Amino acid sequence: MTDFSDIDERWLIENGLYDIADPSHLYEEIVTRRERGDDGIEAPVSKLVGRFSLPLRGVTVLGAYSGTGKSTFAAQWGLHAANSGRKTAIMSLEMPPDFTLELLAEQASCVPDVHLPYIEKFSRWADEKLYLYSSTSVVTPERVFEFVRVARTMLGCELIVIDPLMQIALASEPDAEREFITRLASMSRDLSCAILLVHHLRKPPSGGLGERQKPDKSSFLGSTHLTGAAAAVATIWCDPDIREMRTNGHEIPPDAGPEYLFTVHKQRFAPWHGSVSLHAHSKGARLLCNSNLGQYRPIILEDDECKTEKYQFGAFSQEATPGGFQGKSARASGLATDSRTNLTEFPSLSKSH
């Protein structure tokens, strides 16, 4: 066995040997990984627990037809992560941060049209758990990379949600999308964080099934580089007939089938591929639930000043919490607490903080 321990590190790098590993050392890493178990970001619905989690060192691409729940479920996943002790940052580029905070409060309480007193308490609870980007303008790829770097290295976020890809100003060159997704994947590996990238699906031809057609990996807009570089690829499909019945206030027949299907098309670090059925919340909160009973567990909020006293407001939502990347207005050197406040501007999150 060759021993490189006494060789100069610079020589190893220059001769292309620095990144070569002995199998015995890799075995030790396998033992460590197995002892650690699945360290991905757990799903907010129990049907997926043990089957699929957001890989901690990879990009997950999540897609759905327009207006069918991809941003809602991404927020729900982030809220559940934050409530589970895993800080989350959300770069929502289509929804203003105050609307995102309101959505998160609705999900945390399991009640639509949440009262302001609850939103206020929820915001305080979410401080230092979840951070929000405060702009809905189109951003450059460099801005996204800086967001990821700041969220992970300065704020300690393990989950970073970017929603949607279409709001990122990628160049028109054919390789622009490939360069973006490969660099994003590299950052997720180097920084050991999970990145959830929300993207739109291609509209099916109007002469066929339309949105009744269940999507697959080829349904994503753009090139195949997007799904090729991702560690995981998943879609949400909503049955348009059931959605129409619900929207019009009609009773949904018990044999109507699932309203939503969450499908894992690719999972690089685990063997499971398949679909689980999900359902809308029975009281109308923007949540996806395990069964047609439409039930979800609300978050029990605690005041920072009094950890022993628990505030309960009706039927709260399950488990999640918002937070925000605020600028200099945030307490503690310009960093907003983890409640869905805002991630105003990156200049306020510079290395000087």
Q: What is the pTM of this model?
A: 0.80
Is the pLDDT confidence value at 234 over 70? Answer: yes
pLDDT tens digits, 235-265: 999 999 999 998 898 988 888 888 999 999 9
Contact 133, 91 (CB under 8 A): yes
- Residue-averaged pLDDT of the chain: 83
Nearest to 246 by CA among 99, 69, 80, 115: 69
Q: What is the largest CA-CA distance in the chain?
A: 76
pLDDT in the model for residue 174: 74
pLDDT in tens, 108-165: 999 999 999 999 999 999 999 999 999 888 999 999 999 999 999 999 999 999 999 9
Q: What is the mean pLDDT of residues 338-349?
A: 35
Instruction: Identify the pLDDT of residue 22.
Output: 74
- 278: Cβ contacts below 8 Å, ≥ 6 apart: 45, 47, 236, 258, 259, 260, 261, 262, 288, 289, 290
233 pLDDT tier (thresholds 50, 70, 90): very high
Give the per-residue pLDDT at 3. 57
Structure tokens at 210: 């339309």
Region 190-210: what's the mean pLDDT?
90
DSSP 41: B
Residues 22-47: what's their mean pLDDT? Answer: 82
State residue 162's pLDDT score. Answer: 98
pLDDT at position 15 is: 59
The candidate with the shortest Cα–Cα distance to 165, out of 69, 88, 61, 75, is 61
- In whole angstroms, give the CA distance from residue 39 to residue 57: 10
How, if at all, do strands 260-267 and 232-238 pair? antiparallel
Higher pLDDT, 185 or 316: 185
What pLDDT is stored for residue 33 in this prediction? 67
Q: 7 pLDDT exceeds 90?
A: no
Phi-psi region of 185 (alpha: psi -120 to 50; beta: other; left: phi over 0): alpha
**The pLDDT value given to residue 353:** 29
Q: Say which range, 185-199, 245-259, 265-279, 320-334, has the weakest mean pLDDT.
A: 320-334
Calculate mean pLDDT across residues 220-231: 93
pLDDT, residue 320, reads: 35
Alpha helices per DSSP H over the chain: 9-14, 23-36, 70-83, 97-109, 116-126, 141-149, 176-191, 225-229, 240-247
Whole-number pLDDT of residue 70: 96
The domain over range 9-349 is classified in CATH as 3.60.10.10: no
Half-sphere exposure of 273 (CA within 13 A, CB side): 11
Which sequence spans correspond to the domains of the chain? 9-349
Please give the DSSP secondary-structure letter assigned to residue 97: H
CB 304 within 8 A of CB 319: no
How many H helices and E strands in the chain? Answer: 9, 11
Tell me which residue of 111, 106, 135 sits closest to 123, measured CA to CA. 106
Give how far the C-alpha of residue 56 lies from the chain's centroid of Cα atoms, to the nearest Å.
Answer: 11
Given a cut of 60, whether residue 14 has pLDDT beyond it is yes
Q: What are phi and psi of 52, to 5 degrees?
A: -150, 130
pLDDT at 181 over 70: yes
pLDDT for the residue 135:
86
3-state secondary structure 269-295: CCCCCEEEEEEECCCCCCCEECCCCCC
Give the pLDDT band of residue 313 (cuts 50, 70, 90): very low
pLDDT at 324 over 50: no
Q: Judge contact between 77 and 155, C-beta under 8 A.
A: no
Of 47-56, 98-107, 287-296, 327-336, the least confident: 327-336
**How far apart are alpha carbons 103 and 287 in whole angstroms?**
10
pLDDT at 322: 34
Is the Cβ–Cβ distance between 287 and 296 less than 8 Å? yes
- Is residue 315 within 8 A of residue 102, CB to CB? The reply is no
pLDDT at 193 over 80: yes
**Nearest alpha carbon to residue 239 among 210, 202, 212, 274:** 212
* pLDDT at residue 327 is higher than 50: no
Pull the structure tokens for residue 36: 């650690």
Is residue 317 scored above 80 in pLDDT?
no
pLDDT in tens, 276-301: 999 999 999 999 999 989 999 999 99
